[in-house]
């Protein structure tokens, strides 16, 4: 099924398929893949990423961004994975916006340009970016009081369509599975995203299914909603790659 066709189907059927606690806002997620420089570890990258967290928290506080997360790879079906961790930036629009000059001044005082140049230099030296993708959220549900610190594990399946199954046949069961999984305390959130940029058949995938699981036991339990969801997706999609990521650093959305 072509990505454009999927997006059209989502626009027609997606809203009615969402569960009561589903995320109704349209979002875009930047996946920025980092590879540690030789001899360095995640501990070396933490000071740099914590500085980025402070900058992105300012943008979240201003409503420019919805979230920023440092997701460290725990397991991968690809033993030759080209990255060590991903920074995820969630934005309400595809044209991502950063913190205001006033907010940046609160962080760096009157040396914003100098400090930012230093951060970017250290970032490139510690864990340079090796790849970047932009994804559009097609359907997502999150439990009340969603908090990555309480459920830091994220299972991500990179998928491609195997047949021409209509998108609306997938969306409604997905929404139900996410809702039931949250009720049963198996997941705290989950969703499906479509690749926007860069698209191409050589990538081998165009969809992501993601679940914030409470623990990995739900993947092996045949009666769990997560296990049933994975079986359901396998009927129409090939899982090209699967990753288990851990939220190590992240921003927090202001309470309304």
**Per-residue pLDDT tens digits for 104-146:** 999 999 999 999 999 999 999 999 999 999 999 988 888 776 7
Residue ranges of the domains in the chain?
A: 3-250
Instruction: Please state, in angstroms and rounded to a whole number, the distance separating the CA atoms of residues 236 and 170.
Output: 9
Full DSSP string of 110-158: T-HHHHHHHHHHHHHHHS-EEEEEEEEEEEEEE-TT--TTTS-EEEEEE
Average pLDDT over residues 98-104: 96
Lowest mean pLDDT among 182-196, 197-211, 242-256: 197-211
Q: Residue 215 — very low, low, confident or very high, per pLDDT cuts 50/70/90?
A: confident
Instruction: Return the CATH architecture of domain 3-250.
Output: 2-Layer Sandwich (3.30)
pTM higher than 0.85:
no
pLDDT at position 170 is 61
Q: Residue 14 — very low, low, confident or very high, per pLDDT cuts 50/70/90?
A: very low
Q: Judge whether 65 and 91 are in contact, CB under 8 Å.
A: yes
Q: Which of 212, 85, 91, 75 is closest to 141 using CA atoms?
A: 212
3-state secondary structure the chain: CCHHHHHHHHHHHHHHHCCCCECCCCCEEEEEEECCCCCCCHHHHHHHHHHHHHHHHHHHHCCCCCEEEEEEEEEECCCCCCCCEEEEEEECCCCCCCCCHHHHHHHHCCCHHHHHHHHHHHHHHHCCEEEEEEEEEEEEEECCCCCCCCCCEEEEEEEEECCCCCHHHHHHHHHHHHHHHHHCCCEEEEEEEEEEECCCHHHCCCEEEEEEECCCHHHHCCCCHHHHHHHHHHCCEEEEEEEEEEEEEECCCCCC
Average pLDDT over the chain, rounded to an integer = 82
Average pLDDT over residues 35-49: 97
pLDDT at position 7 is 30
pLDDT at 213 over 90: no
* 3-state class (DSSP) for residue 202: helix
Average pLDDT over residues 69-90: 91
pLDDT at position 29 is 95
pLDDT at position 22 is 41
pLDDT at 73 over 70: yes
pLDDT at position 9 is 28
Average pLDDT over residues 223-227: 78
Signed CA dihedral, 88, 92, 94, 96: sign only: negative
pLDDT at position 164 is 58
Q: Judge whether 165 and 215 are in contact, CB under 8 Å.
A: no
């Amino acid at each position: 099924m072509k990505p454009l066709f999927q997006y059209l189907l989502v626009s027609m059927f997606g809203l009615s398929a969402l569960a009561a606690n589903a995320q109704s806002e349209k979002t875009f997620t930047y996946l920025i893949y980092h590879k540690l420089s030789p001899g360095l570890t995640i501990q070396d990258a933490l000071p740099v990423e914590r500085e980025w967290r402070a900058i992105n928290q300012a943008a979240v506080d201003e409503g420019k961004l919805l979230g920023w997360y440092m997701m460290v790879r725990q397991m991968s079906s690809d033993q030759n994975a080209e990255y060590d961790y991903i920074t995820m930036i969630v934005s309400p629009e595809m044209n991502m916006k950063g913190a205001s000059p006033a907010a940046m001044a609160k962080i760096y005082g009157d040396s914003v340009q100098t400090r930012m140049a230093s951060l970017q230099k250290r970032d490139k030296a510690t864990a340079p970016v090796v790849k970047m993708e932009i994804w559009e959220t097609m359907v997502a549900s999150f439990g009340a009081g969603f908090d990555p610190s309480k459920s830091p594990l994220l299972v991500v399946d990179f998928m491609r369509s195997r047949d021409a199954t209509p998108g609306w046949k997938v969306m409604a069961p997905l929404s139900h599975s996410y809702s039931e999984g949250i009720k049963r305390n198996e997941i705290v959130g989950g969703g499906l995203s479509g690749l926007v940029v860069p698209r191409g058949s050589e990538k081998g995938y165009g969809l992501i299914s993601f679940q914030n699981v409470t623990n990995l036991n739900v993947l092996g339990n045949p009666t769990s909603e997560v296990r049933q969801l994975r079986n359901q997706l396998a009927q129409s999609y090939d899982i090209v790659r699967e990753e288990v990521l851990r939220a190590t650093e992240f921003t927090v959305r202001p309470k309304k």
